[in-house]
Amino acid sequence: MDWLKEVVTSLNFDRIIERDDIPKIDLYMDQVTQLFEGAYAAGKRNQEDKILTKTMINNYAKDNLLFPIKNKRYTKEHIMFIQFIYQLKASLSIRDTKTVLEKLNQSVKEESIDIDQIYDQYVLLMDKQVDDFVQSLPRMLEEVDEIVAEMDDHDQVYLKQLFLIFSLVHQSNMYRRLAERLTDRLVEDSKTDNKQKD
């Protein structure tokens, strides 16, 4: 289990951009990319991987995932939305990400929602889920050990890692598919709301 703890620790799952990490002044695009790179660089698989690029941010703005940017400067609220997008796009398509954030985006434009409170609660939830994930690993590893112990005399180290990868990918797929289905429900609920308004 120690080797797995080391791997998990190296990924810095507990590192997230908190509201206090966001500068009080509006940022230029280079500063935004530097903020995200500084926060998430430890989790990169390869050194040349990019966490966030200017092209990505421009595409988010062009696809209306972000409310309008003024004078090429990004507000604290834009940074929060970029964080939401960064998290969501790891599992959802950009179209689904837009669907998930559409109502929140509109509420921020209309200033009818406290985005600071939503962001703070988001950070708390993400922190709790990191703890839950780390606590679930010993049980998962125990289940893998039981399965591998039943197998013929093969490379036990390889088989443990193989079945652990199978388990993690399967869980990831289940969570992703559920998130996609809930995104579809957002679309259905929106259509129902619009019909009731008409």
**pLDDT, mean over the chain:** 92
Task: List, for residues 96-108, the tens digit of each pLDDT value.
Answer: 999 999 999 999 9
Eight-class DSSP state of 82: H
Share of the chain above pLDDT 70, in %: 96
pLDDT for 138 beyond 80? yes
Split at pLDDT 50, 70, 90, the class of 198 is low
Structural domains counted in the chain: 1
Q: What is the pLDDT of residue 1?
A: 64
Q: What is the pLDDT of residue 189?
A: 83
Task: Tokens for 115, please give them.
Answer: 């985005």
Overall pTM > 0.95: no
Task: From 135, 172, 170, 174, select the one nearest 8 (Cα to Cα).
Answer: 135
**DSSP string for 100-163:** HHHHHHHHHHTT-S-HHHHHHHHHHHHHHHHHHHHHHHHHHHHHHHHHHHTS-SS-HHHHHHHH
Q: What is the pLDDT of residue 27?
A: 96
Contact 108, 67 (CB under 8 A): yes
Q: What is the pLDDT of residue 9?
A: 86
pLDDT for 12 beyond 70? yes
Domain that holds residue 58: 2-197
Split at pLDDT 50, 70, 90, the class of 35 is very high
Task: List, for residues 169-180, the tens digit of each pLDDT value.
Answer: 999 999 999 999
Share of the chain above pLDDT 90, in %: 73
